Amino acid sequence: MKKWSKISFSFLVISLLMFSLVACNNDSNTKSGTKKVEKVRIAEVTRSIFYAPQYVAISKGFFKEEGLDVTLTTTPGGDKTMTTLISGGADIALVGSETSIYVYAQGSSDPVINFAQLTQTDGTFLVSRKKIDNFSWDLLKGTTFLGQRKGGMPQMVGEFVLKNHGIDPQKDLNLIQNVDFANIANAFASGTGEFVQLFEPTASIFEKEGKGYIVASFGKESGHVPYTTFMAKDSYMKKNKETIEKFTRAIYKAQQWVNTHSTEEIAKAVAPFFPDTDPEIMNTVIERYKSQGSFATDPILDEEEWNNLQNIMKEAGELPKEVKYKTLVNTSYAKKVMNN
């Protein structure tokens, strides 16, 4: 009986020790964050193949690897996206950097900070109703041009490019800017305008259907700008430094993946986000954006791009005030994930 008691006691002690080790290990995992999943709400300004690296970060599991559970919502228009972010409806916004300047100029006590750039060129193309074999920009003079919404990056870049080619948008052509973003393509298809500024995949779809022909790229003409950037309120970033770092690391992984993989592989990765898009069109669009360097290969928004953005805004008469680079741009997270 005594012998049995000693064996039983020894077994009990060993069992308790093993249980304690397992419990400590589980507790350590929880404290270190390896099993903690953080929810992050993203508001994107539109659903576009232009944002391919973002969808790759989701579909290839790069956010999940970082312990992030992201919810993606499309909030059409820069004003709506920024309102969603400021009101707390989203943690992070993917939108043009000009919106952060607009908010800051209004005297916000909690400014919106740009921390990771996604696209680095304009994403629109000049589409002609008629096929033009030898296009030159002066062909636009005297025509009706269906442009983008006033105050938005597409419109500002469009006017900037026209002026660089010696065209005064207000005097040298009939500029239409009172059509809602969502209806611009339909307006052109219905017969309005001889030229139109369109995003992909609409531009390529029109070309395939014979409704229009791509004659120039505003992205190639305007140079590098922080066209669409991930941003968050300053207060959120200060309270969630680790989350911002994880988020930026996932985006950087996706950017590198896009940069080193084929058009077909990228198209396959983003296809779930565009179920109604023809695979052939998707390949064409991705190749077009990739070849002109629209997808940023790293998340750093540099000072030259920031200054170019403000020059474009100033030229369009839409810059409320000049804002110093470091006031609304934080590259510390981008640099850290790149170095590591």
Phi and psi dihedrals of 136, rounded to 5?
-140, 145
- Tokens, residue 186: 């339909």
Give the pLDDT confidence score for residue 217 in this predicted structure. Answer: 96
Give the pLDDT confidence score for residue 178 in this predicted structure. Answer: 86
Give the pLDDT confidence score for residue 28 in this predicted structure. Answer: 41
Each residue's pLDDT tens digit, 246-284: 999 999 999 999 999 999 999 999 999 999 999 999 999
- Could you tell me if residue 139 is inside a domain? yes
Residues 217 and 231 in one domain: no
Give the pLDDT confidence score for residue 152 in this predicted structure. Answer: 81
Under 8 Å between Cβ of 39 and 237: no
Put residue 26 in one of left, alpha, beta given phi > 0 → left and psi -120 to 50 → alpha. Answer: alpha
Under 8 Å between Cβ of 49 and 118: no
Residues 235 and 322 in one domain: yes
Give the pLDDT confidence score for residue 72 in this predicted structure. Answer: 98
Q: Where among 188, 222, 256 does a domain terminate?
A: 222
Residues 79 and 115 in one domain: yes
Each residue's pLDDT tens digit, 135-150: 999 999 999 999 988 8
Residues 202 and 332 in one domain: no
Q: Where among 197, 222, 247 does a domain terminate?
A: 222
Residues 129 and 213 in one domain: yes
Give the pLDDT confidence score for residue 149 in this predicted structure. Answer: 80
Residues 208 and 261 in one domain: no
Q: What is the CATH number of the domain that holds 172?
A: 3.40.190.10
- What is the rounded distance in angstroms from the CA atom of residue 94 to the CA atom of residue 57? 14
- Could you tell me if residue 21 is inside a domain? no
Give the pLDDT confidence score for residue 324 in this predicted structure. Answer: 97
Residues 138 and 211 in one domain: yes
The total domain count for the chain is 2
- What is the rounded distance in angstroms from the CA atom of residue 221 to the CA atom of residue 322? 23
Half-sphere exposure of 73 (CA within 13 A, CB side): 16
Give the pLDDT confidence score for residue 35 in this predicted structure. Answer: 53
| Sequence letter at residue 170 | Q
Q: Quick one: DSSP state of residue 329?
A: B
Residues 208 and 333 in one domain: no
DSSP string, 128-168: ESS--SS--GGGGTTSEEE---TTSHHHHHHHHHHHHTT--
- Write out the chain's pLDDT in tens, 340 residues: 433 343 333 433 334 334 344 444 444 444 444 558 999 999 999 999 999 999 999 999 999 999 999 999 999 888 999 999 999 999 999 999 999 999 999 999 999 999 999 999 999 999 999 999 999 999 999 999 999 888 788 889 999 999 999 999 999 999 998 888 778 999 999 999 999 999 999 999 999 999 999 999 999 998 899 999 999 999 999 999 999 999 999 999 999 999 999 999 999 999 999 999 999 999 999 999 999 999 999 999 999 999 999 999 998 899 999 999 999 999 999 999 999 8
Q: Where among 205, 222, 239 does a domain terminate?
A: 222
Each residue's pLDDT tens digit, 51-68: 999 999 999 999 999 999
The domain in which residue 235 lies consists of 38-120+225-339
Give the pLDDT confidence score for residue 36 in this predicted structure. Answer: 83
- Tokens, residue 291: 């070849």
